[in-house]
């Protein structure tokens, strides 16, 4: 049974990789009913409009790992940009049309001696303006509990083993700072264009639970 929302417009294509699930396989849940109710009340009071909701959805849908990968690839190929990115990530990503709003972007660089990893133990803070919506596991109890205490075990589960000689820095996002990991550039890519390099960079590498792909 599909739900019916007099004020909604669902019949358009979303330009993103995964089509959204249909709203319901069966009866609406309590909080889905609450969503409809709050939305209709707010629209009735003139506080929000259906068009605004649609635009906000489309804006978030347009963000995803591709944007983050472009930023990283540019940092790899443009030393002046990389310097700006690390000194003031919020300002540097404006080059890509990113507005961090009330948050600030800190780009933390992986090196041969330091590996960075990001978590929000208290809730789910994530650099949404650059990477889009976070994956479920990032918001999960087990990641939030263990990333700060046993990062190496968690990274092993994710498939990477960081040598003991490399320091791991875990960043717990407790305030308005949002962290993006700048992965190490893989060897053997010296003459690659930024566009080609971007394909080696995925979301998990920018959270710090993966490395950039090898060529």
Where in 38-77 is the site for other proteins (CB under 8 A)? 38-42, 45, 47-48, 52-54, 56-57, 60-61
CA distance 51 to 57: 10
- Interface of this chain with other proteins, residues 131 to 150, rule: CB under 8 A: 133, 135-137, 139-146, 148-150
Closest approach of Cβ 135 to other proteins, in Å? 5
Closest approach of Cβ 111 to other proteins, in Å? 14
Residue 161 interacts with other proteins (CB under 8 A): yes or no: no
Binding residue (CB under 8 A) for other proteins from 83, 111, 174, 193 = 174
- Residue 123 among the catalytic residues: yes
Q: Could you please report the per-residue DSSP string of 116-134?
A: EEEE-SSS----HHHH-SP
- Residue 140 among the catalytic residues: no
Catalytic residue selected from 4, 125, 173, 193: 125
Residue 33 CA, chain-centre distance (Å), reads 28
- Residue 120 among the catalytic residues: yes
Binding residue (CB under 8 A) for other proteins from 22, 83, 94, 215 = 22
Backbone φ, ψ for residue 213 (5° rounding) = -70, 150
Binding residue (CB under 8 A) for other proteins from 62, 86, 160, 177 = 177
Closest approach of Cβ 95 to other proteins, in Å? 23
**CA distances to 114, 161, 177, 184, 201 from 210, in Å:** 14, 10, 21, 11, 9
Binding residue (CB under 8 A) for other proteins from 11, 15, 21, 97 = 21
**CA distances to 4, 14, 42 from 202, in Å:** 37, 21, 38
CA atoms within 13 A on the CB side of 112: 2
Residue 87 interacts with other proteins (CB under 8 A): yes or no: no
- Residue 125 among the catalytic residues: yes
Closest approach of Cβ 162 to other proteins, in Å? 8
**CA distances to 23, 26, 36, 39, 54 from 48, in Å:** 21, 28, 13, 8, 11
- Interface of this chain with other proteins, residues 95 to 134, rule: CB under 8 A: 104, 119, 121-124, 133
Q: Could you please report the per-residue DSSP string of 91-109?
A: HHGGGGT---TTSEEEEEE
- Residues with active-site annotation: 120, 123-125
């Amino acid at each position: 049974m599909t739900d019916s929302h007099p004020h909604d417009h669902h019949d358009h294509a979303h330009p993103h990789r995964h089509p959204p699930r249909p709203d319901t396989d069966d009866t609406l849940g309590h909080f889905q009913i609450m969503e409809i109710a709050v939305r209709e009340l707010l629209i009735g009071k003139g506080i929000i409009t259906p068009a605004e909701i649609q635009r906000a959805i489309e804006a978030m849908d347009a963000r995803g790992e591709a944007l983050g990968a472009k930023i990283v690839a540019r940092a790899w190929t443009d030393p002046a940009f990389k310097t700006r990115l690390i000194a003031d990530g919020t300002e540097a990503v404006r080059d890509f049309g990113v507005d961090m709003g009330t948050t600030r972007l800190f780009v933390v660089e992986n090196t041969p001696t330091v590996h960075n990893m990001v978590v929000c133990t208290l809730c789910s803070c994530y650099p949404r303006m650059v990477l889009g919506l976070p994956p479920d596991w990032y918001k999960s109890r087990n990641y939030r509990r263990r990333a700060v205490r046993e990062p190496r075990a968690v990274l092993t589960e994710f498939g990477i083993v960081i040598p003991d000689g490399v320091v791991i820095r875990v960043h717990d996002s407790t305030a308005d700072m949002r962290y993006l990991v700048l992965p190490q550039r893989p060897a053997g890519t010296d003459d690659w264009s930024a566009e080609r390099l971007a394909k080696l960079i995925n979301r998990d590498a920018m959270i710090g639970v993966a490395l950039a792909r090898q060529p």
